[in-house]
Structures are given as C-alpha cells and as structure tokens.
Amino acid sequence: MKKAHVIMLLLLCLVGYSAFGQADSSSEEPNLINTEMLKKMTVAIENQTYPNVHSVLIHYKGNLVFEKYFSGKDESWGTDLGVVEHGENTLHDLRSLTKSIVSICFGLAIQNGFIENVEEKVFTYFPEYGDLNIGLHQEITLKHLLTMTSGLEWNEDLPYTNPKNSETAMVMSDDPIRYVLSRPLQESPGSVWNYNGGTTELLSVILHKATGLNIEEFAVEYLFKPLEIDTYYWTKAPGQEHPIAASGLRMLPSDILKIGVVLLQDGYYKGEELLNKQWVEESFTSHVKRGKNGGYGYQFWIDQSPDGKEPNKLVTAVGNGDQRIYLDKSKQLVVVTTAGNYNIWDLEKGSFQLLTDFIYPALEK
C-alpha cells in the first residue's frame, strides 16, 4: 500500500511541471483553450486549405496545449527533399529565423563580457578593411546591424536564384565580408530600415572575432547546451567552413518552441536566468518603423496583435517558407510553425491566418 502511495506521489510531481520547468496550471485551468477550434484547424491544414504546413506547436499559459506534425514537400537550404513525413524528430529549415538565433547569441556574448555594448562601431572589428572605413561608413554601429538600419545598399527583393540578389551575391563572393562592407550608403546609418541578411553575417563574424568561437560553436556552448538542445544542423557557405548566419540553421520544432518559451519568460529557463531580461526587452522593442504599421527590434519583427487589440505586441521571428515563432507576452502565448512554402511571397493562407482564424479565437474558449 505504501509503495502505491509513493508511485502516486511521483506521478503527481511529474505532471505538475511542463517540459520547460514551469508549473503546469492545467490542474487549475483544465480548459485553457478551445480544443474544438484546434481540431478544425487540423482538418483545414490536412485538406490543404492552409497549404504545406509541416508543424504547429502552441504553448499557452505555461502549458504545451497543441503539437501536431504534417507531411509535405520540403527542402534543405534549397535542396529538394520531396515529400517528408514530418514528426517530432524531424529537423526543419529555419531559414531567416536563424537571424533571431544569432541575435540571441549576440546578447549572450555581451552578457558574458565578450562585447562591450551595441554602440560599438562596426569597423572596430574589421581593421583589415580600413580602406572601406570612410565617410558615414565610420558611423555604423552594432545596433545598426541588429536593427537592419545600416544604410548600406542591399536588395533581397529579387528571387534568391537571381545572382543580383544581394544575399546570393554575398554568399557566392570570394570575400563575403568585403562585399557587405563595400556596399555604398543609401541612407544615414540608423535612419531607415532595409532588410539585409548581410548585416547578420557581419554580426556572426564580429561574434567570432570577439569570442574565438564561430556562431555555431558559440550557440552550442552558450545556448543549446544550457537548453539541452543536441539535435540540429547548421549549413555552411559553399566552399567555406563558416556557418551561414542569415539562414543556415535546421532544428526540431520542439527546440524552436523551447527557445520561444525562454524569450517569453524574459530569458529564464527552469528558474535560472539564461539570457539577460534587458536584452530580451531591447530585442522586442521597435527601434525603427518598418513599412506602414510594423517595427523592428534586434532581428525580430514587431507587429500588431492578430486580434487587433494590442498594437506593437506581437513579436515574430521570421523565416522564408513560413517558419515562425510568434510571441505574445500579454497573452502568455508562443506559437511555432514550420512549412514548405519557400519563396511564395503572396501566400494567402499561411501561419498568420492560422493565428487569426483559429488560434486566437481558441484562446477565448
């Protein structure tokens, strides 16, 4: 009889905590979310009304309330993988969501004393390119790289198969860093947002110079190991050993979610501070206007909440193909999606529509 009581106590302890070290409130709130609405979402994904979605994970009020995987056509950094049966152990491209991981690592580098602050001048780290450190180029700071406000000429609006696409040209260049730093200035640094994967590559090289570890090595030591993440792949640039910081990371959706939950918890994991709260707040602050209604933080996109009630409250890590981490701190919500809609820029039924059509309505029970 005593043995049975001990087993029962152990089971209660196990179910009382989620995988992220948070107390599980499901015993207090058994109906956190409208599951019927999520069932409708699953059917809509399976019948391709919302095409080629590969996974949806929802963490709400300290609980993993939804985790579902779907089969679909996929790629690995442009290489066709055919139809993949996605599951909890299937790696997935992050594409430009990798940029947000780089930003987190940059914050960890500052936190650990490798880099002083975001106001340092970029060319401080590149004396070998002193011939380019002229005019307003001298004013470009680390913060300008983080917020994509360097002012450097850059065009990623062209297809990535087009050699005139600036990121493609950078990757194929014999000297990618010189290619980025040599771009003429179109705007004064800090004044205008322009999407620029080259600045993320600069951040990763600066981190390497400051720490002696490349971006992959640093991420493993200071982010992945503390979060118990051991399954990933980081694509290298063609003919180089340097990991592609702007788009090269592949991870498990559950590990992407883990990072999202840490950010939602102001940098804490299992009750211990991993990432400085101030860095999270700065990353999630809109430092510059982006388009008509959006903003941009430190490699994170800032937008209005899908319910229209919370301006500048939805923080998103964004990757080509509809890879997303959506963070809504006011609702204690993290949503991760992966999909195979690469280079489809006019997708009408994508992950954001899953938020507006199903996920946010499901929160209202």
pLDDT band at 317 (very low <50, low <70, confident <90, very high): very high
- pLDDT the model gives residue 8: 34
Question: CA distances (Å), 365 to each of 31, 63, 66, 285, 361, in order?
Answer: 8, 16, 15, 30, 7
Using CA atoms, how far apart are residues 71 and 60, in angstroms rounded to an integer? 25
What's the half-sphere exposure (Cβ side, CA atoms, 13 Å) at 184? Answer: 1
Question: CA distances (Å), 285 to each of 93, 103, 117, 120, 278, in order?
Answer: 26, 13, 17, 19, 10
Using CA atoms, how far apart are residues 23 and 126, in angstroms rounded to an integer? 47
Sequence-distant (≥ 6) Cβ neighbours of residue 293 within 8 angstroms: 303, 304
pLDDT band at 206 (very low <50, low <70, confident <90, very high): very high
Closest Cα partner for 167 from 203, 192, 187, 195?
A: 195
Q: What angle do CA 192, 194, 195 make, to 5 degrees?
A: 155
Using CA atoms, how far apart are residues 271 and 260, in angstroms rounded to an integer? 15
The CATH architecture to which 92-283 belongs is 3-Layer(aba) Sandwich (3.40)
CB 166 within 8 A of CB 176: no
- Span 65-118, pLDDT tens digits: 999 999 999 999 999 999 999 999 999 999 999 999 999 999 999 999 999 999
Neighbours of 237 (CB within 10 A): 18
Amino acid found at 335: V
Using CA atoms, how far apart are residues 161 and 46, in angstroms rounded to an integer? 30
Q: Is residue 159 over pLDDT 50? A: yes
The DSSP bridge pattern shows strands 323-328 and 79-85 to be unpaired
How many residues are listed for the chain in this entry? 365
Q: Is residue 28 over pLDDT 80? A: no
- Span 9-20, pLDDT tens digits: 333 333 333 445
Q: What is the pTM assigned to this prediction?
A: 0.91
Residues 183-205 have a mean pLDDT of 98
Name the DSSP letter for residue 25.
G
Residues 252-263 have a mean pLDDT of 98
CB 94 within 8 A of CB 249: yes
Burial of 331 (0-12, 13-18, 19+ CB in 10 A): middle
The DSSP line for 285-343 is: S--EEETTTEEE-SS-EEE--TTSSSTT-EEEEEETBTEEEEEEGGGTEEEEEEE-BTT
Hey, which bits of 108-234 come out as E strands?
232-234
Closest Cα partner for 93 from 331, 346, 319?
A: 319
Ramachandran region of residue 190, left (φ > 0), alpha (ψ -120 to 50) or beta? left
Residue 255 corresponds to which tokens in the numbers above? 């590990």
5-14: list long-range contacts, CB under 8 Å, 24+ apart: none
- pLDDT the model gives residue 275: 98
